[in-house]
């Protein structure tokens, strides 16, 4: 079984607010162990290790945080038992962090960012499914050598094209060739790369 390392940085995926509501929440209220407890079946996808590297709103991320995150991933990627990485992140700057990591990381191992548009306490929380898909993608052979990716709302997005276009809707990119659909039959197609990831 593959091993995936999760680096949690905070954001809406770790936020809490009024039970059931999607607004009026505070980032960084849940830690990685709490997030993983909400993801059913994650232990069947990969062996998991991880750490809480930050617990902030992504608006507050700094150059120093980026450099530290990249350094951790680069160092961990040298471990022969480590197969892929997931970074949980707030969506306000997820695209910037993904782009930065794509520029500086040298590893061929999958690095996948994910987050959520709704807090963990919302009835319609999207974080657990996004995290599940990110773990599955990071554990896949087909994601190797594809650069930094994002798994979000049944999509695989390339770090150099992803953009947040609306505060209440999901991510998109500007080119169909670099958007890769998570199909409902559990088959993951990389349209621009010629591979399929089976979950």
Token match 């548009």: residue? 117
Please identify every residue annotated as catalytic.
12
Beta bridge partners of 4: 48, 84
Q: Half-sphere exposure of residue 34, counting CA atoms within 13 Å on the CB side?
A: 14
| Structure-token pair, residue 188 | 């993951």
- CA distances 151 to 20, 24, 36, 156, Å, are 24, 25, 16, 5
Q: Which of 196, 150, 193, 142 is nearest to 173 (CA)?
A: 150
């Amino acid at each position: 079984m593959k091993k995936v390392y999760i680096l949690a940085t905070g954001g809406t995926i770790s936020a809490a607010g009024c039970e059931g509501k999607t607004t009026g929440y505070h980032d960084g209220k849940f830690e990685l162990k709490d997030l993983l407890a909400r993801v059913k079946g994650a232990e069947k996808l990969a062996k998991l290790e991880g750490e809480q590297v930050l617990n902030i709103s992504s608006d507050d991320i700094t150059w120093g945080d980026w450099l530290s995150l990249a350094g951790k991933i680069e160092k961990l990627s040298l471990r022969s038992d480590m197969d892929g990485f997931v970074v949980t992140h707030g969506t306000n700057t997820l695209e910037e962090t993904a782009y930065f990591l794509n520029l500086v990381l040298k590893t061929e191992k999958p690095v996948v960012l994910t987050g959520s548009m709704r807090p963990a306490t919302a009835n319609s929380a999207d974080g657990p499914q996004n995290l599940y898909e990110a773990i599955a993608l990071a554990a896949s052979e087909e994601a190797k050598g594809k650069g930094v990716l994002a798994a979000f709302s049944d999509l695989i997005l390339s770090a150099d094209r992803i953009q947040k276009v609306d505060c209440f809707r999901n991510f998109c990119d500007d080119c169909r060739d670099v958007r890769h659909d998570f199909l409902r039959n559990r088959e993951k197609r990389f349209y621009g790369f010629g591979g399929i990831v089976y979950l």
